[in-house]
Amino acid sequence: MNHLPQPNSPAKYVHRLSVVIPMYNEEDSAVPMIASVHEALKTYPHPWELILVDDGSIDQTVPRLYEAMQQYGPHVRIACLRRNFGQTAAMQAGIDLARGDVIATLDGDLQNDPGDIPRLVSRLLTEDLDLVAGWRKNRQDNLIRRIPSLIANRLIRRITKVRLHDYGCSMKVFRANIIKNVRLYGEMHRFIPAWTATRTATTRIKEEVVNHSARQYGASKYGLSRTFRVLLDLLSVYFFMRYRTSPGHFFGKLGFLFGSLGTLSLIYLGFVKFVLGDDIGNRPLLLVGVMFIVLAVQLFTTGVLSELISRTYFESGDIKSYAVYNTDELLNVSDRDWKSP
């Protein structure tokens, strides 16, 4: 693999680093992945930990992970989800468990290069950013995956206004105090930069070219069907980015539009009926005008209800999108369980 040039070291910026890697049926990649992380961070000048989240694998991924943990030490932590909740939930679980000031995420299939982590962390800290996202400029996937991804990236960039080239790259580095305030559900990991933009300025979100390799083991967990799910999720992202704290404005605008059209239609028909003396009982415009008024009332009512739901959402407790079965083991940690420089 051709490593990209390294900038200045982040040594002077005191911090702790958490590396989060979700895995699902990656029994052949698990041990090489852990080894590559340790090789990449063997001279890292600050404490770091590695959090591996098994997303309900049905192969030998979990035993391989525990074998590696015994080999490397307690700074390697393993979270085992009760079933396959999906990559987004697995990533959220790892982020919740992370104790570092800086959090790095990457895939567990060896396509991302852990050697890029110090460079991304360096840029995050030296430029005082909140998120540095990886850009697989020389992506090593086949056209079946690259073309839909290219279309999706352009569409997401246009709608969310977050100017990145590659939203699907899992190689990202965050400030923990930002990403821990972003809750991920469904299949929203692709939209992490957009969700982060709801917590910080887009000027504090940058991208960095990273290395990318072809998959060495196993098969991809994603197909063309993901493209359609991305389009549906994009609607949710657009709504939340624009109207998350004021959903009533969204429904209010639609209600005002249809209410205005319905009112104008009925005013026109009233003029025809009472001034011109024509019969309007059989005119389709009468039914359309009444339906528009009814629709406007429904949209205004929906807006009020959505405001109440929004307030309940922001005031509710912490509800997670996953369940971990080895919680006691994960909580039994101390400040000594870090990989020291």
Q: pLDDT digits over 173-204, tens only? A: 999 999 998 888 767 777 888 888 878 888 89
What confidence tier does 20 reach under pLDDT thresholds 50, 70, 90? very high
**CATH code of the domain occupying 10-243:** 3.90.550.10
Residue 219 has pLDDT above 70, yes or no: no
Instruction: State the CB neighbour count (10 A cutoff) for residue 89.
Output: 26
pLDDT, tens digit, for every residue of 227-269?
Answer: 666 667 777 777 777 777 778 888 888 999 999 999 999 999 9
User: CA-to-CA distance for 141 and 138, rounded, in angstroms?
Assistant: 9
Annotated domain spans of the chain? 10-243, 247-315
Considering the entire predicted model, what is its pTM?
A: 0.75
- C-alpha distances (whole Å) from 75 to each of 17, 29, 49, 164, 243 are 11, 19, 5, 33, 41
Q: Looking at residue 323, what is its pLDDT?
A: 59
Question: What is the DSSP code string of 203-234?
Answer: GGEEEEE--B----SS--S--THHHHHHHHHH
Q: Looking at residue 65, what is its pLDDT?
A: 94
What percentage of the chain reaches a pLDDT higher than 90? Answer: 45
Give the chain's end-to-end CA distance (angstroms, integer): 25
| CB distance 244 to 310 below 8 Å | yes
| CB distance 49 to 100 below 8 Å | yes
Closest CA to 28 of 55, 1, 59: 59
Judged by average pLDDT, the poorest of 23-27, 42-46, 92-96, 156-160 is 156-160
